[in-house]
Every structure is written in C-alpha cells, then in structure tokens.
Amino acid sequence: MPGLSVVIVTHNEEDRIRGCLDSVAWADEIIVVDAFSTDRTAEYCRPYTDRIYTRVWDGFIPQKNYALKLATKEWVLSLDADERLSDRLIPQIKAAIGTADRGCAAYSMPRKTYYLGRWMEHSGWYPDRKTRLIRNGAGVWTGQEPHDTLEVDGRVCRLDGDILHYSFRDLSHHIQKLDYFTDLASSELIKSGRHAGPVDMMIHSSGMFVKMFFVKKGFLDGVQGFIAACVSAFHVFIKYAKAWEKGTEQ
C-alpha cells in the first residue's frame, strides 16, 4: 500500500497541536516545520515524530512549500496545527491512497469550523472545501498571502469527510488574527496597484455582511453567525483602510 506523509507548519500552537497529531498518528510519516515557537509546541510534537524542523517564518506559501518538499512518501497530506481529521475522513483518506485508480492527482475535502462554541454550518464557512491530499510532486502552494492554494497538476477528486478547524480560540483571538491578516491583505492590494478609499471601505465591508448573513444564510448559525458576519465585515473594512493608509505613506 502507498505510504502517507503528513506535513504540518506550526508556531506557538501548544494548546492545539496534540489534537492535530492524534488524528494523524496512524500515518507513515509526520513532518513538522516549526517557526521557532517560544512555547512547548516542539516538545509536544516529539512523541509523534522525530522529523521536526525549524525555519524562520516568511509566509504561509513558502513555509508550506518547504514542508511539502520534505515529504518522502507517495501521498502527502498538508494540515495546519489548528486542524484535525474527523473520524469519517480518516478511512476515506486511507481508501483513497490505497486505490489502484491513478486518475486522481489530489483530493479535496470540506472543512468545518468551530466558532465560539458552535460548529458553523452556513455563513460561507461551510463546506469551505480544501485540497489537502496530493500525490507527492503533483503540485505546489501558490496564491496571495494569506490565502494559500494548493495548485495541482492533474485531476482533483473529492472526499466528503470533514477537516475539523479550530481556527479561533475566542473572540479576542479572532480580532488578533484579523489585525495580522489585514496587514498581509492590504500589502497585497498595494502590490497589485489597487487604490483604496472610503467608497471601497464602505461598499466592500457592507457587501461582506450581506453576503455572509443573508446570502450564505449566516442567520441560521445563530448569534455566532451574526458575530462572524460583523467581524468579517470589519475585516474587509480594515483591509481597505490599511491599504488607504499605506497608500498615503508612499
């Protein structure tokens, strides 16, 4: 049976990394690329693997491509430290890599996010399908920071078991990540030559709220759906506001 390498990039994930590793402990090879964590992330990884590498963080895309190149098995599963495999997805992955069908270069699967005590079923957050399982050498990470995409040379087939995503520890953590990600996104806007002003801030942020809460039925996710729509609208507002700010400094 073909082997499976699991690659994970980490930075200060001591409270979540063991859940991720427990869900893939059955894999043939686990590779962790850690961005010099200052907590016990590396220590918690050692019982699962001796293939722990440290690398200065220079973005999601280069970090994940570096991890991808370290894999030695025929199939590679890429996960973030705040993700884990559901009980339904594990046997599907095992069956996929064990099949004689050579037509699939990669597999995508839905990702379900746990937010403020609730699994989000709507809001545009689900099914949030991600391509994460790939034949070794059949693709690379591309995209614009912080939105990385696994670009595949070949056919991408589908699995229906969920990746479980524990993205935000609490609302404060969501706001902290918002600040970090809007820094990246606003810089990408500037690089693309886009100019941002008050109209962009207003139209794009209000559009995001309408899309998430009404079009994507976020109201069915209860209070969490309303909060997610509000914070996401604020995320878009801050992205364009930071792009405006950076544009005035040039």
Q: Where are the domains of the chain?
A: 4-165, 171-249
Class of domain 4-165: alpha beta
Query: Beta strand 83-85 with 29-34: parallel, antiparallel or unpaired?
Result: unpaired
31: its two tokens: 């590779």
Rounded to whole angstroms, the Cα distance separating 155 from 4 reads 19
Helix axes 222-249, 171-191, angle to 10 degrees: 40
CA-to-CA distance for 237 and 26, rounded, in angstroms? 43
Rounded mean pLDDT, 92-107: 88
222-233: average pLDDT: 98
Tell me: the pLDDT tens digits for 132-191? 999 999 999 999 877 899 999 999 999 999 999 999 999 999 999 999 999 999 998 998
More confident residue, 100 or 61: 61
Report helix, strand or coil for 78.
strand
What is the pLDDT at residue 46? 98
The overall average pLDDT reported for the chain is 95
- Is the pLDDT at 210 greater than 70? The verdict is yes
Which residue, among 60, 116, 111, has the nearest Cα to 230 in the 3D structure? 116
* pLDDT, tens only, 43-86: 999 999 999 999 999 999 999 999 999 999 999 999 999 999 99
